[in-house]
């Protein structure tokens, strides 16, 4: 059940039910409407007379840090909601769809070197207000994304009872295409998550179905707010933005995949045997989806070259048998 808090909660719920009655699953769209609801709930004053142009345009401004395709997804459901509300109240502002439709070209992801990951975690731990839960939330969230390759939507949808420290695993119940999976955790990751949970429970009374990661108001984190904070962390760490490979939050997932592959190369693992496991861990339907995440880096190409050279020397010998 989607948790809604703004003055638009009732009409949003009616719109979701209307689409589902027509036979549509409308699950992902409902989650995007939930993000808009959280944004509206955070505004002051909390209950405006109607959905104004200023409020809608402020949300569009919040979306500018997201990838173009993601912006389109978030904006399209807001347009649907506005048209639905305007049918009953002509004062409601109805925005135009995003007209800058982009060619469907996949951008090259940014692979963060380990020192930049460490810098981002350090900057997250220094976020204000001092002594609050926020820096612990941001640092633990970023660390979890890097160590598991979770999608940001999967991470912020986690509930307290999805974390099972005794079994050192996480249940991702709200994965892409509603595909659930278990995520095995390294002991160090499990300990860091356990430490965060203790702080989080001290901040708010325990409830098994409550969000694992919460903001200072005790509510589930919003994708837009996390993305906004992440851009501030990039700036604080001196990680340049702009251009076709501008760093994004989602690129941490790409970084996890590349660094995992690099570790397997260094350990001498059989990559053909390991790739299906990586695809399952990332929540992909097949290996073809995982290949997009395996971007070449200087370190990775060096390992590939080294392995090829070793295999070449073992299998191809010069005349006379001298190696």
Q: Assess whether pLDDT exceeds 90 at residue 298.
A: no
φ, ψ (nearest 5 deg) of residue 298: -60, -45
Q: How many CB atoms lie within 10 A of CB 231?
A: 17
CB–CB of 294/258 below 8 Å?
yes
267 pLDDT tier (thresholds 50, 70, 90):
confident
Look up residue 259 and give its two tokens. 């660094």
Q: What's the mean pLDDT in 142-159?
A: 95
φ, ψ (nearest 5 deg) of residue 159: -105, 165
Which of 96-100, 167-171, 218-222, 273-277 is predicted least confidently? 96-100
- Taking only the tens place, the pLDDT of each residue in 44-67 is 665 666 788 888 998 998 888 787
Task: Pick the catalytic residue from 38, 223, 250, 260.
Answer: 250
pLDDT at position 320 is 57
Is 317 catalytic? The answer is: no
CB–CB of 310/268 below 8 Å?
no
Task: Give the predicted TM-score (pTM) of the model.
Answer: 0.67
Q: What's the mean pLDDT in 226-232?
A: 93
CB–CB of 241/112 below 8 Å?
no
- Taking only the tens place, the pLDDT of each residue in 8-31 is 999 999 999 988 887 777 888 899
Is 136 catalytic? The answer is: no
Q: Assess whether pLDDT exceeds 60 at residue 99.
A: no
The CA distance from 168 to 189, in Å, is 9
The CA distance from 228 to 211, in Å, is 20
Is 27 catalytic? The answer is: no
Task: Pick the catalytic residue from 38, 62, 136, 151.
Answer: 151
Q: What's the mean pLDDT in 35-45?
A: 84
Highest mean pLDDT range out of 153-157, 268-272, 303-307?
Answer: 153-157
Task: Pick the catalytic residue from 38, 62, 136, 253.
Answer: 253
Task: Pick the catalytic residue from 136, 254, 260, 284.
Answer: 284
DSSP-derived secondary structure for 241-293: --STT---STHHHHHHHHHHHHHHHHHT--HHHHHHHHHHHHT-SSHHHHHTT
Q: Assess whether pLDDT exceeds 80 at residue 297.
A: no
Which of 156-160, 188-192, 200-204 is predicted least confidently? 200-204
pLDDT at position 321 is 54
Half-sphere exposure of 290 (CA within 13 A, CB side): 22
Which of 3-12, 81-90, 296-305 is predicted least confidently? 296-305
Is 223 catalytic? The answer is: no
pLDDT at position 303 is 62
Task: Pick the catalytic residue from 5, 19, 176, 231.
Answer: 176
CB–CB of 109/254 below 8 Å?
yes
Look up residue 254 and give its two tokens. 């790409």
Q: Which residue pairs, CB below 8 angstroms and at least 24 apart, start in 306-310?
A: 307/265
Is 151 catalytic? The answer is: yes
Q: To the nearest whole percent, how much of the chain has pLDDT over 70?
A: 84
Edge to edge, the sheet with strand 169-172 lists 163-164, 169-172, 181-184
Q: How many CB atoms lie within 10 A of CB 283?
A: 20
Task: Pick the catalytic residue from 110, 112, 146, 293.
Answer: 293
Higher-pLDDT residue of 197, 293: 197
Is 284 catalytic? The answer is: yes
């Amino acid at each position: 059940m989607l948790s809604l808090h703004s003055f638009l909660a009732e009409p949003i719920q009616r719109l979701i039910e209307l689409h589902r009655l027509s036979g549509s699953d409308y699950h992902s769209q409902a989650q995007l409407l939930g993000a808009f609801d959280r944004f509206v709930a955070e505004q002051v004053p909390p209950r405006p007379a109607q959905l104004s142009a200023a409020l809608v345009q402020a949300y569009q401004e919040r979306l500018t840090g997201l990838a173009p395709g993601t912006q389109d997804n978030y904006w399209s459901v807001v347009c649907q909601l506005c048209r639905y509300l305007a049918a009953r109240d002509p004062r409601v502002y109805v925005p135009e769809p995003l007209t800058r439709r982009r060619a469907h070209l996949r951008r090259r992801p940014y692979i963060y070197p380990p020192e930049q990951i460490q810098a981002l975690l350090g900057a997250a731990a220094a976020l204000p207000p001092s002594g609050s839960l926020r820096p612990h939330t941001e640092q633990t969230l970023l660390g979890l994304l890097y160590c598991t390759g979770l999608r940001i939507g999967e991470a912020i949808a986690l509930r307290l009872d999805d974390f099972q420290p005794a079994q050192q695993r996480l249940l991702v119940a709200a994965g892409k295409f509603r595909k659930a999976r278990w995520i095995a955790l390294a002991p160090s990751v499990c300990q860091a998550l356990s430490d965060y949970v203790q702080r989080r429970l001290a901040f708010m009374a325990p409830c098994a179905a409550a969000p694992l990661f919460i903001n200072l108001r005790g509510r589930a984190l919003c994708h837009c707010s996390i993305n906004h904070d992440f851009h501030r962390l990039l700036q604080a760490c001196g990680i340049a933005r702009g251009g076709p490979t501008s760093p994004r939050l989602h690129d941490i997932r790409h970084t996890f995949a590349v660094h995992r592959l690099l570790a397997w190369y260094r350990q001498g693992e059989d990559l053909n045997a390991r790739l299906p496991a990586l695809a399952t861990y990332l929540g992909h339907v097949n290996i073809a989806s995982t290949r997009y995440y395996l971007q070449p880096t200087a370190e990775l190409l060096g390992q590939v070259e080294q392995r090829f050279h070793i295999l070449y020397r073992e299998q191809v010998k010069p005349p006379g048998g001298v190696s």
